Amino acid sequence: MAAKQESGADNQLWIQSWRDRRIDFHQSVVNPLMKQFWPSLKLAPGSRVFVPLCGKSLDMIWLAQQGHNVIGVELSAIAVKAFFRENGLRPVKRKVGQFTLWRHGRLSILCGDYFALSKAEIGAFDMVYDRAALTALSETDRRLYVAQLTRLVPENIRVMLLTIEDAAEDATLSQAVGVDTEITSLFSAGFDIDLAFVDSAFEIDPDSPDQAMRRAEYKVYQLTAKTTPG
């Protein structure tokens, strides 16, 4: 059963961001941490990788180049169209339930609302790649996002989760190395959590009017969906 639609306000803000080209969150290069840690997963060529809230991420191009079949989900048709156009790809389109499937070779994107996605529409997959999807959501919708992901993933499926977390002002480096409390709160019920990597960097806080510096923690988590009792 698909998740109940409960994120209309956030959906409209997301669509408007793409219309207004307010897409500072889009990365113009393949994520280096993904490239560094993906080989350690030893995922077989031909495996199907699910990328929720994918935008027009170039990471999907890289995954396809590794021999994987990639299936993204994205709300904005502007983002989906831009992804294929900017990469010189000519997709074919067809309806899949309440979604529009755009496909070219190993690359597919379901255009529609992630929160309304069903198992029948996404189909089978072998791995989930999540690069900072949580940062695009409000605190309430983060819980809905994880609840929906838990419904969609089969048992023992792995998730590579990349996050950017703000370190507390008075936190030492050793204190920042642990699993973030929000990650634990969101994922621990449905997933085993392994923190594989942490990199600390000082950078300008984009929300600060006086360009104050903040310490950001770039983390790589490897999650595994828990087996359902019984």
* pLDDT value for 20: 46
**Quick one: average pLDDT of 73-85?**
94
**Quick one: average pLDDT of 158-174?**
72
The residues, ordered by sequence, that sit 6+ positions from 189 with a Cβ below 8 Å of its Cβ are: 150
Closest CA to 219 of 171, 170, 167: 167
- Contact (Cβ atoms closer than 8 angstroms) between residue 215 and residue 170: no
Distances (CA, A) of 202 to 67, 94, 213, 218: 36, 45, 6, 11
Looking up tokens 């890289």 gives 62
* pLDDT value for 23: 44
Distances (CA, A) of 125 to 48, 63, 188: 5, 14, 21
Query: Which residue type sits at 36?
Result: Q
Kindly state the percentage of the chain with pLDDT values over 90.
63
Look at 167 and 29; give whichever has higher pLDDT.
Answer: 29
Q: Is the pLDDT of residue 230 over 80?
A: no
Three-state SS at 59: helix
Long-range contacts of range 18-27, CB-CB < 8 Å, 24 or more positions apart?
18/76, 18/78, 18/79, 19/78, 23/55, 23/79, 24/206, 25/55, 25/132, 25/135, 25/136, 26/55, 26/56, 26/57, 27/57, 27/58, 27/59
Q: Is the pLDDT of residue 208 over 80?
A: no
| C-beta atoms surrounding 2 within 10 Å | 17
In the 8-state DSSP scheme, what is residue 37? H
The helix (run of H) or strand (run of E) holding residue 121 is: helix 119-122
- As a whole number, the mean pLDDT across the chain is 83
Q: Is the pLDDT of residue 169 over 90?
A: no
Spatial distance between the Cα atoms of 95 and 132, rounded to a whole number of angstroms? 28
Spatial distance between the Cα atoms of 230 and 226, rounded to a whole number of angstroms? 12
* pLDDT value for 48: 98
* pLDDT value for 27: 66
Note the pLDDT tens digit of each residue in 120-151: 999 999 999 999 888 878 888 899 999 999 99
Note the pLDDT tens digit of each residue in 47-77: 999 999 999 999 999 999 999 999 999 999 9
How would you classify residue 11: left for phi > 0, otherwise alpha for psi between -120 and 50, otherwise beta?
alpha
